[in-house]
Amino acid sequence: MPTPFHTPQEVEDAFYDALDERNTELMMRVWDDTPDIACLLPMQPMVHGGEVRNLFKALLGGETRINIQVSHVHWVQIGDVAIHYVQERADPSGVRPPASGERGGGVPPLYATNIYRRRGEAGWSMILHQNSPPAPPAGMPPPR
């Protein structure tokens, strides 16, 4: 039995480490093992339940390292559920660091909603990872 994750933050760190290291085994430990899970990655269709594991097996079996810098927007904990609103900035290897005054490497940041649940001795696991598209460029007219 792998060691359970003791906090939502441990699960979150493992999620982004698994992406960066293309570590499928770690990624499988991150996710809750019920049909309650869902995931939306950028440029992917939204998937629910068992499709989530298939998505990550396909993604991490590839050659792309996905190194994401995460900053926290707001955290909520309600009993055995934790919601982390975060901002993600992709840091693809080979891209030069941003110059002073730039928003960062030319890759606009995304928001993500990460939700974790605690199940007794099994500890915390991820049940939702849902990305937003990047914000529209400054100067776009507001929607009507």
Contact residues for its own copies (CB under 8 A)? 35-36, 38, 40, 43-46, 48-49, 58-59, 62-64, 73-74, 76, 78-81, 83, 85, 111, 113, 115, 117, 127-128, 130, 132-133, 135-136, 142-144
Q: How far is the CB of 126 from its own copies (least distance, A)?
A: 13
Tokens, residue 88: 């993600």
Residues 55, 41: contact at Cβ < 8 Å? yes
In the beta sheet, which residues pair with residue 31?
126
Tokens, residue 6: 């003791």
Q: Alpha-carbon torsion 58, 52, 12, 34, what sign? A: negative
Nearer to its own copies, 30 or 127 (CB): 127
* C-alpha to C-alpha distance for 110 and 118, rounded to whole angstroms: 26
Q: How far is the CB of 74 from its own copies (least distance, A)?
A: 6
Q: How far is the CB of 9 from its own copies (least distance, A)?
A: 18
